[in-house]
Amino acid sequence: MAASKKKKSGLGKGLNELFQGEDIQTMIDAIEKKPSQFAQIQVPIDQIRPNPYQPRKHFDEEKLNELAQSIKEHGIFQPIILKQAIQGYEIVAGERRYRAASIVGLAEVPAIIVEFTDQQMMEIALLENIQREDLNAIEEAQAYQTMMKKLDLTQEELAKRIGKSRAHVANTVRLLKMPQKLQDYVLDGTLTMGHIKPLITIDEKKALEVARKAIDQQLSVREVEDIVKGIKLQEARKAKPKEVKPKEYVYVEGLLRKKYRTKIKVDEHTITLKYTDTQDLNRLLELMGVIEEE
């Protein structure tokens, strides 16, 4: 089934010429805010496939179903933005609308066709999700890593392109060093990034144990933080080196203990004697010659 071309208005010039000097996201925003100014066609839904560079792996099923119900009742008001592919079309923007339309069972959807390179497609997919806060931290980290690798960008160069600080990019990508199981918990929504962050600072085995406990007992972020603090405090106590007392102090302690028959501690510039009660104190004072024997 071929796409039926019902043009409302022609672009005249290519997008890059039309928005000369503007960034890609500005182009997308302009199209989505005033779609009636651009050529639209009805595209068979079976000819559409998601953006291969889409960083978002998980879509909220409840929200998708709500959107599907709205589309069923009112139709699609905002066209999906597509790019011509070797076979069919790839989504540039509007994957949620596409997925919701598929749930409803629509045969075709309104679309605007644009011409973008693979590099631009990658940037658009990432920017759209970041700016709309649709990505979780792990998906964002994976998207950054993919862009840096495929576009040969440094962290600083990527940060400038997406409008983030270099520190934000660096800290986000560092999350991919976490155990894969912890990453999966964030990806599938089992735990939040708030739960996971404290676990990065402890041993992997213990981190996984705490994560499992947090899931089973539905612990809050604060409760997980408290557990991690307890583990780190316990580890610090174990790691603290045991003080080795100089031999001469040990020797003197032995002599005094034999003479006074009580617990005695000798440290640098200090001798500590312990007594049990008043009678024992008087005994020690008599031995020291401080008071006379009765």
Q: How far apart are alpha carbons 192 and 215 in whole angstroms?
A: 11
How many angstroms separate the Cα of 92 from the Cα of each of 81, 95, 121, 154?
Answer: 5, 8, 6, 25
Answer with the residue of higher pLDDT: 256 or 21. Answer: 256
**Contact (CB, 8 A) for 273 and 262:** yes
Q: How far apart are alpha carbons 125 and 134 in whole angstroms?
A: 11
| Tens-place pLDDT, residues 156-174 | 988 887 778 899 889 888 8
- Domain 15-135, CATH: 3.90.1530.30
Q: What is the mean pLDDT of residues 10-21?
A: 40
CA angle 10, 16, 20 (to 5 degrees): 110
Query: Which ranges of the chain would DSSP assign to H, the alpha helix?
Result: 15-18, 24-33, 61-74, 95-104, 118-131, 137-150, 155-162, 166-174, 180-187, 193-199, 204-216, 221-239, 247-260, 278-288
Q: What is the mean pLDDT of residues 40-63?
A: 80
The rounded mean pLDDT for the chain is: 80
Answer with the residue of higher pLDDT: 189 or 109. Answer: 109
Residue 131's pLDDT is 56
Least confident of 13-17, 101-105, 161-165: 13-17
Is the pLDDT confidence value at 87 over 50? yes
Is the pLDDT confidence value at 8 over 70? no
All structural domains of the chain with their residue ranges: 15-135, 136-177, 191-239, 247-288
Is the pLDDT confidence value at 62 over 60? yes
| Tens-place pLDDT, residues 244-283 | 888 888 888 899 888 888 999 988 889 998 988 988 888 8
Is the pLDDT confidence value at 43 over 50? yes
**Contact (CB, 8 A) for 169 and 158:** yes
Q: How confident is the model at residue 134 (pLDDT cuts 50, 70, 90)?
A: low
Phi, psi of 57 (to 5 degrees): -100, -25
Active-site residue flag, 268: no
Phi, psi of 226 (to 5 degrees): -65, -40
Residue 6's pLDDT is 44
Q: How confident is the model at residue 294 (pLDDT cuts 50, 70, 90)?
A: low
Q: Tell me whether residue 194 is exposed, middle or buried, using C-beta atoms within 10 angstroms of its C-beta: 0 to 12, 13 to 18, 19 or more.
A: middle
Least confident of 95-99, 127-131, 252-256, 290-294: 127-131
Which among 22, 62, 66, 95 is annotated as catalytic?
95
Q: How far apart are alpha carbons 73 and 117 in whole angstroms?
A: 35
Is the pLDDT confidence value at 44 over 90? yes
How many angstroms separate the Cα of 97 from the Cα of each of 65, 107, 205?
Answer: 11, 13, 41
Q: Do you know the residue count of the chain?
A: 294
